[in-house]
Structure 1
Amino acid sequence: MSEHLKKHRPAQTMLARSVQLALGATTALGLCQVALAQDEAAKLGRVEVTGSSIKRLDAETALPVQVINREAIAKSGVTTAEQLLGQLSANVGAIEEKAQNTDTQKNSGFSGANLRGLGVSSTLVLLNGRRMANYAFGGQGVDLSSIPLAALERVEVLKDGASATYGADAVGGVINFITRKDYQGAQIAVRAGGYDEGGGNRKQVSGSAGYGDLDRDGFNVFGAVQYQQSAQLRANQRDWSKTALRPDVGSVGTSTTNWPSNLFTTSAAASLIGSVDTNGGKCAPPTSVFSGGFCQFDYQAAADLVPETKKLNTFARGVLALNAANSLFVEAAHSENEAHYRISPATFTSYRLTANGPRISLFYPKNGPFFPKTYTSMTTGLPVATPNTKDIFVAVRLLPLGQRERVQDTKQDRFVFGAEGEFAGWDYSAAVNHSVSMATERYNNGFVYGSKLGPLITSGVVNLWGDNTPEVLALMEATQAKNVAGRTGRATSDSIDAHASKEVFQLPAGAVALAVGFELRREKLTDIQSDEAKSGLLNNITSSPDTRSERKVKALFTEVHVPIAKGLDADLAVRYDSYDTGDIGSSTNPKLSLRWQPVKELLLRSAIGTGFRAPSLADVSASGGLSSSSNFYTDPLRCINGVGPGCKPGPMPIRSGGNPFLKPETSKQFSLGVAVDPGLGFYATVDYWKIEKNDVISQLSESLIGSNFAYISKYVTRDPADPAYPGLPGQISEILLPVDNQGVRRVTGLDVALSHRANLGQYGKVRTSLSGSYLLKSQEQLVKGGEIVDVLGKYANLYPTPRWKHLLSVDWSQGDWNLIFSNQFQSHYRDAYANLVNATTGFVASVAHGTPGSVSANVASHSTYNLQGGYTGFKNIRLDAGVTNLFNKAPPTSNQSGYFRGFDQSVDATGRYVYVSAAYTFK
């Protein structure tokens, strides 16, 4: 250790123990309650803790920082950053890569953190204290798949607003992934696991190595690599997800577009079932069900819960000591993620013969060889003659061609070069940072050229109601788009930043410290659809405008630490940000925090500040592509008094839209906390926090279709009126849901952390930890000037807001043995109540909040248990085995009306998972 660092080594005191809780001690599947930053300070002297720009001897800030160290990560049983953050009680409504939330083409291979449930774009994710480029598709946040878990030393989670230090995106908090810095040695590890009920098996190999001692050799180089493969997990491999027809919970989620095809005498007439005989079993599970007078396709049985993925993460860091106090460093990171998203086979009801030409409805010819002369009425069971005076309109599900498969290839590169150390009494750090996210989308299976398949079906060659010959199936197969590029995105972030801190003068209670800094950043985003995808010739693919945006950001910031009296300190931070595009302009955000420790066993802290979030480049860009709504809705203008063609709920065509006139969000935050260290191994922290956002930047919620159609009607585009329904408007062809500055979002809650250590003598040591979050208030305003709605403990806007979440763990160790038992819990909440089956009509419209009629139900609380054991008795070897969801707890039943029906999608729905791992350390 250098002389400069040695002279700043602090002594371990009872104060350090109490600070462990002040820093938000961590629990997560055995994540130990440790003051990592404090331990780091003991080793390295002055350290910089997430949320502050000032280096200090102790990590004794007034902000709630939760720390997860490397050992805790290893004991947690997780293999990705997404899984690790999924264990945080403050992470609510996060976006996960698994395709558990929808059977549409919306999944883009992205996983993002969501502290306090304020949105992915309000959680800032850093790597070694510096930014990474946002994900190329959508640009809302950093993709957690790009984080090199094998290279991490620890993770610091600041659960408080930090715009005064980091600028935009830090309204909900900051997650700082910190890699190993001075590691020497090498390690290799392998891991494999699988589910009891099949599907989703995973295997992983990782390695890391470091060489060089900074003090002795004047340099250190470190590198890590991790590769993981995961198999797909299909919905029909789990009892709770194998069907979308759930009359037991009042939920129906099937489609009248089927194979064998439903047919219509005209597009407006009642549905007829072709030569389908219920007794013959053709309209039967696993692909079809009879519901509402239709032979309906059960699309949920044909979708995947979890995608097949291949992930590669690499990281390298080199440090060169210039002298005892200064060094140069370079970091390089590269990640790749290939995800195969498979959903139900494509629908086919219309097509184009020429690029962007008119759509032609799909008909089967009246003189075709397979024209059904009669069909069996599925309501009466009697044969009915099929009118053969004209062609029949058909709605086809392309079951013979298999699942639709999109392949998402994502790459992330990051290069940082900088210097850090001490100069003229200032502790400084400066760097140049280049980060880029690249994503491509390919159509691999199940997408057809309508210009080829349409004429094939209208010729009468294809039997839509029976078996086809191998030759006909080959003709159908030839219409598919195989490995066709659909979309390419690229997001870059280039920046130069520097900050420095020093003690500027002495007060009776201690030294006043000052920090100053600046950041210059340029952001770019391109999101371009291929010409083939834009042509309209590919069925089930809609065109969308290209996005090409960039902007520059300038920022100045400062922070002052003032010791007011013995045990009482204050921090004041201010940051000024200026944007050169749109209506964003500039923003200045202060933050004041206080820390008071009247006795060594008690620490009180409080902070108040403002924040802001600039709209992302995607937010201010052009409209996006067309997709289906997540929920099913009726059309109130075509459903009068429960009668009409719009009364049957179904997915609505949604087009997202950007807004170049967006203003930044603004926010106010307040927190008040206490940490106690009464001794005897007990520690505890309780923090009250309150956040209010104004001018919330968000896409208009699709729930407005069901709850406030009058407001949303100005964004509705319709087809021409159908003469078969005089007096009614045409069908909805598109609903634009633009990004807009909406109203307010208010969230208030309590964070609780408890820990106890016990020495059992010859029976080992036990550490018991609890980390939980309890929401006191959650309100949102979907329309500016509209009603402020209470969503606490309810399902709203596609995800729930449970009051309480916790992680409880018991970590026992003795000699070479270690055993961790943990419990992850989420409280019950009010259900969605959408698409409940009504005894008279068969359906009711989706409801955003509340209970329709007399129906009353909650989504039950969810509690899972996990167990992991480790052994280190063999030289240089660590062996681990574990089980997540030990008792194979099924997700709670729910009426949520997304494309996946019948179960709570906010919890893990994969079942019991068993894994083993082995690691060898070279010494």
Structure 2
Amino acid sequence: MTTSRSGRPAPAPQSAVAVPSRLPQAIGLAVLCLAAPHQGRAQAAGDDATRLDRIEVTGTRIKRAELEDQVPVQTLSREDIERTGLTSISDVVQQITASGSALNTRFNSSGNFGFPPDGSGVGAGSATVDLRHLGSKRVLVLVDGLRWVNEASASGVGAATDLNTIPLAIVERIDILEDGASSLYGSDAIAGVVNIITRKEFDGARVTVDYGEYEEGDGASRKVDFAWGGRSERARWFLGASWTDQDGIGAGSRELSRLPTPGTGLAFGSSGTPDGRFIFVDPNTGITQDITPNAGDGAGLPAYDGSDACARSDDYHCFATPDRFNFAPYNLLLTPSERKGLFGQFRFDISPSTTWYAKALYNRRESANRAAPEPIFLGPDAGTGNPQADNIFISGANPYNPFGFDLDSASNLILIGRRPVEGGPRLYEQEVDTWYVATGLEGAFDLGDRGWFWDLNLVRSENEAEQVNTGSYNIRHIANALGDPAVCATIAGCVPLDIFGGAGSITPEMLAYIQPVVRDRSDNTLSLASANASGDLFDLPAGPLSMAAGYEYRKYEGSYQPDALTVAGDYNGVPSLPTSGEYDVNEVFAEFSVPLLSDSPWAEALDLSIAGRYSDYSTFGGEFTPKYGLRWQLVDEFLIRATFAEGFRAPSIGELYGSASRFDATLSDPCSTGPNGEPPRGAAGNCAALGVPAGYQQPNPQISVTTGGNEALDPETSDSFSAGFVWSPSFLENSAVAERVDLEVTFYRHEVEGAIQAIDAQTQLDLCVDTLDPTYCDGITRASTGGINGFNNRLTNLGVIKTDGWDADLFWTLRETDAGRFAITWRNTWVGRYEAIGADGALQPRQVGVEVNDGAIPQWTSNLALDWRRGPWSASWTLRFIDELVEECGDATGFAICSDPEEGTNRLPSTTYHDAQLAYRLDVLDGLELAAGGINVFGKEPPACLSCSLNGYDPSTYDIPGGAYWYVRADLSF
């Protein structure tokens, strides 16, 4: 059953039974309340049926059923989830129209991604959720109304929740609050709340088996879920187990992802090639050489054909675009992932008014990422941030040095790029374990003739991750092996290294000395205790004054421990240091629902809601966040609602305590000549002032950027406003054209001040060249050659983020006929504005309709679903629309794939995906349902992305990889 954004389902029969006010019965009737049509205001206080009609809904802590449409909440029922054909919570939530760019299993996010400035690591294999394009760390994830632990990525201390830690099999429904809610739930709820409601009432057993694969015959996904539950006179229990196994897909298997940048050949390939690139000044002639061996590399590149005008008399020729390395086929479009989860829940009625509950979960994710063989970059233009690589010395006595003289970064060496394909690709394998234990008491009592509800909760949850990396190198050992061979002979295991002889020249003995196994670990732990109460205080002329109040204590602990090799500075890959920290918070909150009018000429009902929360953090002190709401029921069929909320987000452990680390950003130096000889974008005078010589060409598009946390960070603060209406026209109800129609329209606006982030690296580089302002240039250093060899990009409370837009949703249920029952759900989001402004007033590149940094904010996204039921048959057809985007072509401007070279921009056309499902239910045992369906049934390919860092796609906006995905499912109840 598809529910509306307000949480109100399509009409269903209902009945009311008056029984004593007890929590167990109230919880049981919650399901009936959710299935009942909206009926306006509750009955008078003291009526037993009224007290039973009180439930807790996402967006308010007061347990009153008529408050369920006070704020914009989108509910995805179990049926909605199964209709998608998806096998993870993250994939389901990322399809809603209000969702923004977030990590998922289509991000091959190890390797060059390195460490983001917030200290969270790359999150390899994880999946998060973003609402309103404000970032995953500004969305609060709850499970049954209580916080879930943040992810541990094995490369940092995350500030967002990995939804892959929660098995889809245990989910009853997902509530998505698209509004600021810090006053109700505390920090992180700036953009909204995702509340995952688990299965509690379940009688019998059910086994669900899924299998699917892409039309290319790859990317297979297998899933088996088991659910079992029951009840006795005083107890209820549920046990869920889940296994999901997803195969990976290599980038080389799809045409669009076979090159570093689509449609540009090898122009954006790597300087780190299997044969090697050597740039140095010949001390005998004083001439700068940029050369590579003539021989084929044995890794798929052809031998030198003599066409280069810079031919030499030896076995080398001048390096040119055809010599660049195509790293793209080594990447993954879809990362392999296996998830196993076990969840149990037990509820016991201690007395007619008190229930004890206990929950436990264990979930393991085993995932992997893959990148091309790791390059070894040496010399001052390497820009790795590792002194051992940037200041390398290669002895002329090295038996494999063909030049007969020393290559020294201090004198004549500029850059060496050598990619040892002999060592194989880089593999990153993650094991992530999640433990969750919760217990508590829930109860009800009468205060006079008024019913009150209370609960006490204790939660302990932990997310631990380990990542094993093979295919990387030890830069200290490389330096030893390239140095004086006499010194090398005194070091255990050291053998001279041949990086000059082309692919195949590095022997197993050489690899044994320079190639380690790297192990990184991280963990996040959350401890929580809370106490809450809700009920009516007294009667006002328009009805009872209701309230909720509570106390919550939370303690966060997190650490990241990189491999000892990395800590010592000997890792050839992305360097990092350990991170460790903790903090705690005490909070109190109160919420009031004040009825102002009831059954008056002005309104059927007018309610004011007021909420406030005070949070005391051990890291920065106290913060108070209020929220105000107005709910105006003009008539039974028309409701107007509005909210205003202040919010905040406390700095995370990674943001506060993250140590200096690095990520390799794909940047275009404005002072560099383009790959086809295009003149530099930057002013010649400014580039000269920065020490860049005329004719300089950036040797490698990946520039190492140093990041780190900041203990002086302040919390982010926000203002959120929403206003809209819900209209259920009575003239359409039970008419010839409809059984029921609901239209919901909501305007939203968010403003975040003091946003914790580092300035966009490309923006910082561009502004430095354009302005020469020390604000931007102080963190950027260049070698004598003009190349960037240092880039400092640290966290700060940076400026303001402003965004606003509209949601418009239509729910149309047609009258049942001999052809069956049809229902239409049409959800739309229009983003009117998104501005991220730096502390100095500079506009950041992320805007509406713009593709940047592997993510986008489409102006219009829309989901249109048609459901049909007739007897044992059911079917659905869903259209998902993504508006067109534009991106900067950058250095690809000179290529035909750049659609508007005069403007230097490329258009990504609008995209529509079609999903379908057909199901049939048989009378076998308690029911057997067979379903078959397809996602992207017409095989729509995603548009090519020139600015995306890997694979030529945006994996957070489009279905990756292209092509249809077909699946079958069997669901047996017994």
Residue 530 of structure 1, aligned match among 546, 557, 563:
563
The more displaced of 528-537 and 788-797 is 788-797
Other-structure match for 1:690: 749
Q: In 2, distance between residues paired with 1:714 and 1:854?
A: 27
Change (3 A) 1:100 1:569: farther
Q: In 2, distance between residues paired with 1:649 and 1:370?
A: 25
Residue 162 of structure 2, aligned match among 143, 153, 157:
143
Residue 119 (structure 1) aligned with residue 135 (structure 2): yes
Other-structure match for 1:596: 632
Q: In 1, distance between residues paired with 2:58 and 2:37?
A: 19
Number of residue pairs matched? 859
**Structure 1 residue matching 2:62: 3-state secondary structure:** coil
Change (3 A) 1:394 1:164: closer
Residue 273 (structure 1) aligned with residue 301 (structure 2): no
1:856 Cα deviation from its structure 2 partner: 4.3
Residue 870 of structure 1, aligned match among 915, 919, 931:
919
The 5 Å alignment of 1:736-755 reads 736-755=792-811
Change (3 A) 1:326 1:251: farther
The 5 Å alignment of 1:193-232 reads 193-213=212-232, 217-232=233-248
Change (3 A) 1:420 1:74: same
**Structure 1 residue matching 2:288: 3-state secondary structure:** coil
Other-structure match for 2:196: 177
Residue 81 of structure 2, aligned match among 73, 76, 85:
73
The 5 Å alignment of 1:742-781 reads 742-781=798-837
Aligned partners of 1:495 and 1:522 also within 8 Å: yes
Residue 826 (structure 1) aligned with residue 882 (structure 2): yes
Q: What are the Cα deviations for residues 409-464 of structure 1, in whole angstroms up to 9, with x where unaligned?
A: 21111111111120243211210111111112211x21133455566677777475
Aligned partners of 1:271 and 1:294 also within 8 Å: no
Taking structure 1 as the reference length, what is the TM-score of the superposition?
0.86
Q: What are the Cα deviations for residues 828-855 of structure 1, in whole angstroms up to 9, with x where unaligned?
A: 122132222448xx999xxxxx998533
User: For the aligned residues, what is the CA RMSD?
Assistant: 3.5
Q: What are the Cα deviations for residues 469-524 of structure 1, in whole angstroms up to 9, with x where unaligned?
A: 8xx64324424656542x22121111111111111111232211111111111111
Q: In 1, distance between residues paired with 2:564 and 2:401?
A: 37
Other-structure match for 1:336: 364
Change (3 A) 1:360 1:126: closer
Change (3 A) 1:362 1:337: same
Other-structure match for 2:590: 558
What letter matches 2:207 in structure 1?
I
Change (3 A) 1:856 1:360: closer
What letter matches 1:573 in structure 2?
I
Other-structure match for 1:379: none
* Greater per-residue strand proportion: 1
Q: What are the Cα deviations for residues 660-709 of structure 1, in whole angstroms up to 9, with x where unaligned?
A: 11111111111111111122322211111111111111222213234322
**Structure 2 residue matching 1:62: 3-state secondary structure:** coil
Aligned partners of 1:882 and 1:914 also within 8 Å: yes
1:774 Cα deviation from its structure 2 partner: 0.5
Q: In 1, distance between residues paired with 2:877 and 2:754?
A: 44
What letter matches 1:233 in structure 2?
I
**Structure 1 residue matching 2:150: 3-state secondary structure:** coil
Aligned partners of 1:19 and 1:59 also within 8 Å: no
Residue 475 of structure 1, aligned match among 500, 503, 509:
509
Residue 412 of structure 1, aligned match among 434, 439, 448:
434
What letter matches 1:749 in structure 2?
G
Residue 453 of structure 2, aligned match among 398, 423, 427:
427
**Structure 2 residue matching 1:168: 3-state secondary structure:** coil
What letter matches 2:972 in structure 1?
Y
Q: What are the Cα deviations for residues 51-83 of structure 1, in whole angstroms up to 9, with x where unaligned?
A: 111101335331001111112212221110111
Q: In 2, distance between residues paired with 1:560 and 1:760?
A: 42
Residue 317 (structure 1) aligned with residue 368 (structure 2): no
Taking structure 2 as the reference length, what is the TM-score of the superposition?
0.82
Q: In 2, distance between residues paired with 1:245 and 1:818?
A: 43
Change (3 A) 1:304 1:168: same
The 5 Å alignment of 1:609-620 reads 609-620=645-656
Other-structure match for 2:117: none
Q: What are the Cα deviations for residues 30-59 of structure 1, in whole angstroms up to 9, with x where unaligned?
A: xxxxxxxxxxx9996311111111101335
Change (3 A) 1:648 1:571: farther
Q: In 2, distance between residues paired with 1:526 and 1:615?
A: 15
**Structure 1 residue matching 2:508: 3-state secondary structure:** helix
Q: In 1, distance between residues paired with 2:275 and 2:842?
A: 47
Other-structure match for 2:10: none
What letter matches 1:488 in structure 2?
R
**Structure 1 residue matching 2:169: 3-state secondary structure:** helix
**Structure 1 residue matching 2:656: 3-state secondary structure:** coil
Q: In 2, distance between residues paired with 1:284 and 1:763?
A: 68
Q: In 2, distance between residues paired with 1:51 and 1:426?
A: 19
Aligned partners of 2:275 and 2:501 also within 8 Å: yes
The 5 Å alignment of 1:498-537 reads 498-537=531-570
1:789 Cα deviation from its structure 2 partner: 7.1
The 5 Å alignment of 1:102-117 reads 104-106=112-114, 107-109=122-124, 110-117=126-133
Aligned partners of 1:362 and 1:394 also within 8 Å: no
Q: In 1, distance between residues paired with 2:883 and 2:51?
A: 41
1:17 Cα deviation from its structure 2 partner: 4.0
Residue 497 of structure 1, aligned match among 527, 530, 534:
530
Other-structure match for 1:26: none
Residue 93 of structure 1, aligned match among 93, 101, 108:
101
The 5 Å alignment of 1:39-50 reads 45-50=53-58
Q: What are the Cα deviations for residues 750-803 of structure 1, in whole angstroms up to 9, with x where unaligned?
A: 111111112352211111111111011111103344447782222345422110
The 5 Å alignment of 1:252-263 reads 252-263=267-278
1:173 Cα deviation from its structure 2 partner: 0.4
Residue 187 (structure 1) aligned with residue 206 (structure 2): yes
Change (3 A) 1:280 1:254: closer
1:624 Cα deviation from its structure 2 partner: 3.6
What letter matches 1:79 in structure 2?
T
Other-structure match for 1:30: none
Query: Percent identical across equivalent pairs?
Result: 24
Q: In 2, distance between residues paired with 1:534 and 1:222?
A: 45
1:738 Cα deviation from its structure 2 partner: 1.3
Aligned partners of 1:632 and 1:898 also within 8 Å: no
Change (3 A) 1:569 1:415: farther
Other-structure match for 1:812: 868
Residue 659 of structure 2, aligned match among 612, 615, 623:
623
Q: Which runs of 5+ in 2 are unaligned?
A: 1-16, 42-48, 115-121, 309-317, 381-385, 408-412, 486-495, 599-603, 672-681
The 5 Å alignment of 1:668-747 reads 668-678=719-729, 679=733, 680=738, 681-709=740-768, 710=773, 713-716=776-779, 718=781, 721-722=783-784, 725=785, 731-747=787-803
1:642 Cα deviation from its structure 2 partner: 8.0
Residue 240 (structure 1) aligned with residue 272 (structure 2): no
Aligned partners of 2:98 and 2:131 also within 8 Å: yes
**Structure 1 residue matching 2:657: 3-state secondary structure:** coil
Q: What are the Cα deviations for residues 135-171 of structure 1, in whole angstroms up to 9, with x where unaligned?
A: 1233211111111210111111111110110111011
Q: Which runs of 5+ in 1 are unaligned?
A: 23-40, 373-386, 845-849
Other-structure match for 1:376: none
1:329 Cα deviation from its structure 2 partner: 0.5
**Structure 2 residue matching 1:329: 3-state secondary structure:** strand
Residue 859 of structure 2, aligned match among 796, 800, 803:
803
Q: In 2, distance between residues paired with 1:664 and 1:570?
A: 32
Other-structure match for 1:446: 471
Q: What are the Cα deviations for residues 331-380 of structure 1, in whole angstroms up to 9, with x where unaligned?
A: 1111111111111111123499xxx98448778887888777xxxxxxxx
